[in-house]
Amino acid sequence: MLSLCLLASCKSNGEQPISSPETSTGSLPSSPTPLKSQPAVHIDKEEQELYTFIAKQLSGPYGVYTNMQDTDQSAEAATGHEVLSESASLMMRIAVLSGNKELFSSEWAKAKQTFSTEGGFSYRYSPKLQKQYPLNAAVDDLRLIGALYAAGDTFANKEYTNEAAEYSKTFYRNNVKDGYMYDFYDNDFRVTNDFVTLCYINLNVLQNLSINDEICGILLHNMNAILEDGYLSDEFPFYETRFNYKTGNYSSEKINTVESLLSILNLAEVDRQKPQSVRYIKEQVEAGTLYGQYTRDGQPANDIRSTAIYALTAMIGAEIGDDSLYSRSIERMNEFRVTDTGSVLYGGFGNPETGQAYSFDNLMALLAYSY
- Whether 193 is in a domain gets the answer yes
Which phi and psi (to 5°) does residue 151 adopt?
A: -65, -40
The one-character DSSP state at 11 is B
> What residue numbers bound the domain in which 98 lies?
1-19+72-229
- Whether 37 is in a domain gets the answer no
The closest alpha carbon to 132, from 144, 121, 146, belongs to 121
Query: Total structural domains in the chain?
Result: 1
For 84, how many CA atoms within 13 A lie in the half-sphere containing its CB?
21
Each of the 371 residues of the chain gets a pLDDT tens digit; together they read 343 334 434 654 433 333 333 333 333 444 466 776 543 334 489 999 999 999 999 999 999 999 999 999 999 999 999 999 999 999 999 999 999 999 999 999 999 999 999 889 999 999 999 999 999 999 999 999 999 999 999 999 999 999 999 999 999 999 999 999 999 999 999 999 999 999 999 999 999 999 999 999 999 999 999 999 999 999 999 999 999 999 999 999 999 999 999 999 999 999 999 999 999 999 999 999 999 999 999 999 999 999 999 999 999 999 999 999 999 999 999 999 999 999 999 999 999 999 999 999 999 999 999 99
Answer whether 158's CB lies under 8 Å from 113's CB.
Answer: no
pLDDT at 115: 98
**Integer Cα distance of 83 and 60 in angstroms:** 9
- Whether 14 is in a domain gets the answer yes
Apex CA 293: angle with CA 359 and CA 352, to 5°? 40
For 323, how many CA atoms within 13 A lie in the half-sphere containing its CB?
0
Bond before 34 cis per omega within 30 degrees = no
- Whether 304 is in a domain gets the answer no
Amino acid 151 reads A
pLDDT at 25: 34
- Whether 6 is in a domain gets the answer yes
**Integer Cα distance of 61 and 110 in angstroms:** 8
- Whether 157 is in a domain gets the answer yes
Which phi and psi (to 5°) does residue 250 adopt?
A: -85, 155
- Whether 309 is in a domain gets the answer no
pLDDT at 37: 53
**Integer Cα distance of 55 and 30 in angstroms:** 7
Task: Give 132's strand partners.
Answer: 125
Q: What DSSP string runs through 305-358? A: --HHHHHHHHHHHHHHT-HHHHHHHHHHHHTTB---TTSTTTTSBSBTTTTB-B
Q: What is the CATH number of the domain that holds 165?
A: 1.50.10.10
- Whether 150 is in a domain gets the answer yes
